[in-house]
A and B are shown apart, each in its own frame.
Chain A
Amino acid sequence: MVENTGKTLRADTYKPVNTPEPLKIEEDASGLPLAVRLKRRQAVATIEDKWRLDDEWWRKEPVSRLYYNVLLASGQRLVLYKDLVTGGWYQQEY
């Protein structure tokens, strides 16, 4: 297993783009997103797509995510995912 070196990048070197942003989500009993808390609570009207991403399994902090492409009641489209390692929800353009 590859351990995290603990080294931090210098701020002026290299900044990843499109890093995930934490998001408050209400889940139903089966773990699907029911509503999203952006500025206000918005219900999820439809889950249009769903896919799973598993990668970097050889590292100490593997990547395991369940992505959802959702349509909110307001008509806004959003890509969000549940981190299957930590259980947290994030918003990220895919």
Chain B
Amino acid sequence: MRILCVLLPHFPWRCELRRHPALADRPAIVTYTEGSQKLVTDYSPHLEGLRPDMSLQEALARHGEVEMLHADIPYYRSVFNELLDALEQKSPLVEGADPGCVYIGVDGLQLIYPDDNALVDAVRGVVTDFAPRLGIAANKFLASLAARYSPPGDFKVLSGAINSFLKDLSCDVLPVSVKSRSKLRDFGLATLGQVAALPPGPFQSQFGPEGKRIWELSRGHDDTPLYPRFMEEVIEESAALPSVTVSLDAILVALESLLARIFAGNTLKGRGIHSLTLWTRSWNAEHWERNINFKEPAMDVRSAVSRIKRILENYPQPGPVEQAGIKITGLGYPRGRQKSLFREVRAKDHLAEDIKQLELKLGNPQVYTVKEVEPWSRIPERRYALTPTNR
């Protein structure tokens, strides 16, 4: 299978540049927070001596006069998804490996793109703002190397005798664990040629299961299949909070109303929520995100909220929250659902059904429930809120 790899170097910085064109003239560092430490995600391409995941302190020691930006992961993800959508118009087999790295299956496209130049031109047209590097080869590893070593503004095709190309490359290009990489260094194996020259058996006995893969990669063999994007149904809702808040209850009320909106919509089609991604954005643009899986699909707002509440309690927010969102990533049917024996519960279900009918007929929420948001607040309008009644 022939694969075209599209590398988009400095993808987070280029996303930021897209919405703040003035950054083109100003050196900038994109940061993220891990624990109490600020680390570098990306930076302006002309800044030398920086690398992703280095501490901000270290980066600032090298470049003091830089603009700092907090990584806006949802935005980068949405830009990346936009690019993948556009690339899927060029080939149906598109894998978004990491933000900034795309693999495209190009077999069978000869009728549309008679040669590699035509194909590359079509792909480049989609990602032209992101200074892409493109490479074509027989597998993902070689395609990524071809892209990495392609001349700027051009593309590289790796085919035929590739050993001469691989033998002098540093072992750092191998997509393997940090542990194996450091072990390679300890053994004095600096280039792929040195690894390829070793017999596979003893090499594997030293490096364990990953040894086989390292040895094969050093010879240009990679049997990792292409995983085209799974067209999953994703439901996403988000809302800005009326005021920045650290109150768990206020965040929960906002999330509850988002869930109510999701359950009220027609997208679930009788299914429950199996997994979701919860995210918030703090006023200082910090991003917080957690994936939540439900053992049994949550069929109503209440059951989803109780799980979400536990997550919010266990994983504190990085700062006062101004926006919250939910992305439903998995839907499922319950194993069995029985109507309640109790009349009160059944009456509630009837009421919910009636409200749903009313809203289908009249549009917009018609019935609201008063919820305590910040009952202790000195500002009266912050204390309670109306949220659409669980429809």
Which residues of A pack against B, CB within 8 Å? 2, 5, 7-20, 53, 55-56, 59, 63, 92-94
Contact between A5 and B364, CB atoms less than 8 A apart: no
Identify 8 residue pairs between A and B in the complex whose beta-carbon atoms are under 8 Å apart, listed by A's number.
A2-B320, A9-B240, A12-B261, A16-B382, A17-B381, A53-B379, A55-B379, A59-B244
Instruction: Identify whether the interface residues of A are mostly helix, strand, loop, or mixed.
Output: loop
B257 adjacent to A93 (CB under 8 Å): no
Pairwise interchain contact B378-A55, C-beta atoms closer than 8 A: yes
A residues less than 8 Å from B242 (CB atoms): 9, 14, 16
Cβ of B5 within 8 Å of any chain A Cβ, yes or no, is: no
Give every chain B residue within 8 A of A2 (Cβ-Cβ).
Answer: 244, 283, 320, 322
Count B-side interface residues using an 8 Å CB cutoff. 30
A-B contacts besides A10-B239, A59-B243, 4 pairs, CB < 8 Å: A11-B364, A12-B364, A14-B386, A20-B380
Interface residues of B (CB under 8 A from A): 239-244, 253-254, 257-258, 261, 283, 320, 322-323, 364-365, 368, 370, 378-388
Q: Which of A8, A13, A15, A94 contacts B380 (CB 8 A)?
A: A94
Tell me whether A12 and B365 are in contact in the complex, defined as CB-CB below 8 angstroms, given that A2-B244, A2-B283, A5-B323 are known contacts: yes
- Known interface pairs A5-B322, A9-B242, A56-B243. Does A14 touch B380 (Cβ–Cβ under 8 Å)? no
**Does B385 lie within 8 Å of A14, measured CB to CB?**
yes
Q: Are B240 and A5 in contact (CB under 8 A)?
A: yes
Would A14 and B381 be within 8 Å (CB), given that A2-B244, A7-B240, A9-B242 are in contact? no
Structural contact, A9 and B239, CB atoms closer than 8 A: yes
In whole angstroms, what is the CA distance A63 to B380 when docked? 11
A-B contact count (CB 8 A): 73
Question: Taking the nearest CB of chain B, how far is it from the CB of A65, in angstroms?
Answer: 8
Q: Which residues of the partner chain B approach A18 to less than 8 Å between Cβ atoms?
A: 380-381, 383-384
Instruction: Flag if A13 contacts B261 (CB, 8 Å).
Output: yes
In the complex, what's the smallest C-beta–C-beta distance from B170 to chain A, in angstroms? 45
Q: How far is the CB of A24 from chain B (nearest CB, A)?
A: 20
Nearest-Cβ distance from residue A49 to partner chain B, whole angstroms? 15
> Cα distance A63–B368 when bound, in Å?
27
Task: Tell me the complex Cα distance, A7–B242, Å.
Answer: 9
Contacts of B283 in A (CB 8 A): 2
Q: Lowest 10 A-B CB distances belong to which pairs?
A: A7-B240, A15-B386, A17-B384, A16-B381, A12-B365, A2-B283, A13-B257, A19-B381, A13-B239, A18-B380
| B299–chain A nearest beta-carbon distance, Å | 21
Q: Which A residue sits closest to B320, measured CB to CB?
A: A2
Please measure, in the bound complex, the distance between the C-alpha atom of A7 and the C-alpha atom of B283, giving whole angstroms. 13
Bound: A24/B57 CA distance, A: 55
Q: Give A53 to B323 CA distance when docked, in angstroms.
A: 26
Q: Are A92 and B322 in contact (CB under 8 A)?
A: no
Tell me whether A17 and B386 are in contact (CB under 8 A): yes
Expressed in whole angstroms, the Cα–Cα distance for A5 and B242 within the complex equals 10
Enumerate chain A residues within 8 angstroms of B365, measured Cβ to Cβ: 12
* Closest partner residue, chain B, to A59 (CB atom): B244
B370 touches A17 (CB 8 A): yes
Contact B254 A14 (CB under 8 A): yes
CA distance in complex: A55, B94 (Å): 51
